[in-house]
Amino acid sequence: MSAHATTVPTRLGAGRWVLRGAAVVAGVAVLGALVVVLLLPRLVHGAALTVRSGSMTPALSTGDLVVVRPVDAAALHVGDIATYREQSGSLVTHRVVAVNGSGTNRTFTFRGDANASADPEPVPAAAVQGRVWFAVPYLGTLRARLAEARPAIVVGGVLALGGYALVQFGSYARERRAAR
């Protein structure tokens, strides 16, 4: 009896391994971004905000995502970057440059790092929303673009999943035919 070697065709070629690896990396990146944008802020009762101006350059750039955690206003010090709500309802994230008064009469003076002068009005402690915990470059821009494109993303996702299902079904059908 002679022994002969047979080669077993690999089910996945190198190209498929590369694509699967890229898909895993992309999936991990998306999951990480979702954790930063959705989960972490909620866990700390904070908020994820997008920087919309260059007033805090170089510390924060336009399009960065900042995660703001609530803070007792008494714990804010000169040099902290914090977010406050203006009387108009807009949120502003600037650096504390002065702390005035004490107790319930405490107010803060804020200034953007790139601004020549301080913000015009003193900010009462009650208007302080929180201190910046950390920032992620560019993620705010990505979040804003995704929010604008949400319907297209849903349709694209459904089409991609449908295409993937068709490819898998076709692969299964070919394997069944080959096995006969």
Give tens-digit pLDDT for 100-115: 998 778 999 999 999 9
Number of compact structural domains in the chain: 1
In a domain, residue 120? The reply is yes
Domain range for residue 24? 19-150
For the CA atoms of 56, 57, 62, 67, what is the dihedral angle to 10 degrees?
A: -50
- Count how many residues are written for the chain: 180
**Is residue 29 scored above 90 in pLDDT?**
no
- Per-residue pLDDT of 128-180, as tens digits, reads 999 999 998 988 888 788 777 777 777 777 788 778 878 887 777 788 788 77
- pLDDT tens-place string over residues 113-123: 999 999 999 99
Residue 34 maps to which CATH number?
A: 2.10.109.10
Nearest to 26 by CA among 165, 160, 179, 130: 160
pLDDT > 50? residue 64? yes
Report the chain's mean pLDDT, rounded to a whole number: 84
CB of 68 closer than 8 Å to CB of 47: yes
